[in-house]
Amino acid sequence: MNDTPMLTVDNLIVSYNGIRALQGISLTVQKGEIVTLIGANGAGKSTLLRAISGLVAFQSGSISFHGVPLNSIAAHKIVEMGISHVPEGRGIFANLTVFENLKLATWTRKDRENLDEAFRRVFDLFPRLKERKNQPAGTLSGGEQQMLAVGRALMTNGSLMLLDEPSMGLAPVLVRDIIRTIQEINQQDGTTILLVEQNARQALKIAHRAYVLETGVISLSGEAEELRNNPKVQAAYLGG
């Protein structure tokens, strides 16, 4: 792996209504890695992803992607640079078909000649989306909507994917499917992934490294396996 991180967050501070949601967060993500953020609700995980993708302003610190500062770049330009974001709650367009949702995500792409291949890739990963490509997205099950949200991010052809709680509200068997697909996306073409996931056990199984967030501060970081075996992490997040 290249020594220069793909993503660098340095001493980031984000406040809402005078309350600090992030209190000087620093982390790195290397090209080709899966890095997971674990922590309780309200720890600041979603806020961090939203700051990276330009959806919330930060008061101080810096975020850079391939060495380029993102501090004053608009959210849609950040997508063009290669960062895609699968938000918590999926954010699909319920009244549009599956196909239309996927096609919408291609508006930033310059390589229009590769769109057929992009659709093929998504439908290979998620055969159920192919079966339902002409259905309104709002008629899909929760698991299928999550597949669509991930597929839509893939259609942007970004090199870094931010995933916010992809398993939320899904049955255990679907959680395993989604987590396995995330690993497949990473292994197939080297897409780098920053994953926020409540299911810490599953996330730590596929991640290379992990950070633990507690009330806006990183309390632990290290190799995923190391954190999986850490008694504090086991007691707080792994139910043992």
Which whole number is the average pLDDT over 132-138?
96
Residue 2: pLDDT band by 50, 70, 90 thresholds?
A: low
Question: So what's the pLDDT on residue 1?
Answer: 47
Percent of the chain with pLDDT over 70: 99
The strand pairing partners of 64, in sequence order, are: 8, 69
- At residue 18, the pLDDT reads 83
State the CATH class of domain 1-82+158-240. alpha beta
Cβ neighbours of residue 201 under 8 Å, at least 6 residues apart? 228, 237, 238, 239
Domain residue ranges in the chain: 1-82+158-240, 87-155
240 has a pLDDT exceeding 80: no
Q: Quick check: 70 pLDDT over 90?
A: yes
Inter-residue long-range contacts of 204-207, CB under 8 Å, 24+ positions, other chains counted: 204/36, 204/38, 204/228, 204/238, 205/179, 206/34, 206/36, 206/179, 206/180, 206/182, 207/34, 207/35, 207/36
Does pTM top 0.85 for this prediction?
yes
pLDDT digits (tens, 9 = 90+) for 140-170: 999 999 999 999 999 999 999 999 999 888 8
What is the C-alpha separation between 210 and 228, in angstroms, rounded?
A: 9
pLDDT digits (tens, 9 = 90+) for 80-130: 999 999 988 778 999 999 999 999 999 888 888 889 999 999 999 999 999
Write down the pLDDT at residue 103.
Answer: 95
Summarize pLDDT for 171-199 with one digit per residue, the tens: 888 888 899 999 999 998 899 999 999 88
How confident is the model at residue 129, as a pLDDT? 96
Q: Mean pLDDT across the stretch 228-234?
A: 94
